[in-house]
Amino acid sequence: QLPTGLYKKVLVILHDSVLPYMNEPTLMMDFLTVAYGIGGAISLLALNGLFILIHQHNLEYPDFYKKLYSLLDPSIYHVKYRARFFHLTDLFLSSSHLPAYLVAAFIKRLARLALTAPPEALLMIIPFLCNLFRRHPACRVLVHRPGGPAEMSEDPYVMEEEEPSQSRALESSLWEIQSLQNHYHPDVAKAAAVLNQSLSEMEDDISGLLELSGYELFDKEVKKKAVDVPLEFEQVRGLFGKKNDIFAEHFSLD
């Protein structure tokens, strides 16, 4: 049993400072699978090393996607390792051989959690979901279901279900994105409105959005050039706007 702080320090550097220099990186399988099962930030950090073992050393992890699905909780949009997590999740969900029910479960869960996410995370996750729709056309029924949320008395999706295949995501509709189209931040509302139109074939590049911070968003808004908005269509002539009132006889505007 290692202290949590030590776990994090090791896992942050393991994938690029340890595994490439080992003669047998597969010796780290047990350590990484145990770390992946701990949960929270430790599981997120273990993803890097697991990805290398799965991709390059033929590690088989039968419940990998079930565990990845269970990592999706409200904290993923706020943790320090958010960029790393979504970069790897994007890689894991890139295969066109994944079943539609699995990808639909990820889309639905990410969209549901997005309802409480900060704007900087939303500007990343909406293009991320659009890319998933491009890769897996069978999941587009979530957006284009006849009637949509208007004709649903309740959402059939089961958020608490740990098994993606039992979550009934493919029976649902993506009303969460419709809600985000009325978001208070105009950039988020504009990004969410993209799903009202036909998606282009080319995927969005989200690499520049993974590290987006609230400070950068605020700084961007502050640096926008202000546009002069006319408040009066008629030039003010007197103290209270009338030419011939009694105040105009005694006071003048310079």
The residue ranges of every structural domain in the chain are: 63-251
Note the pLDDT of residue 33: 85
Q: Say how far apart CA 165 and CA 146 lie, in whole Å.
A: 23
Q: What is the pLDDT along the chain (254 residues), one digit of tens a residue?
A: 778 888 888 888 888 888 888 888 888 888 888 888 887 788 888 888 888 888 888 878 778 888 889 888 888 888 888 888 888 888 888 888 889 999 999 999 999 999 999 999 999 999 999 999 998 988 888 887 766 666 667 888 999 888 998 999 888 888 898 899 999 898 899 999 988 888 888 888 888 788 788 888 888 888 878 777 666 666 666 566 666 667 666 776 66
pLDDT, residue 62, reads 76
The predicted pLDDT at position 244 comes to 67
For residue 111, the model assigns a pLDDT of 93
Q: Look at the chain and count its residues.
A: 254
The CA–CA distances, whole Å, from 18 to 14, 49, 91, 96 equal 5, 10, 22, 31
Number of neighbouring beta carbons within 10 Å of residue 18:
14
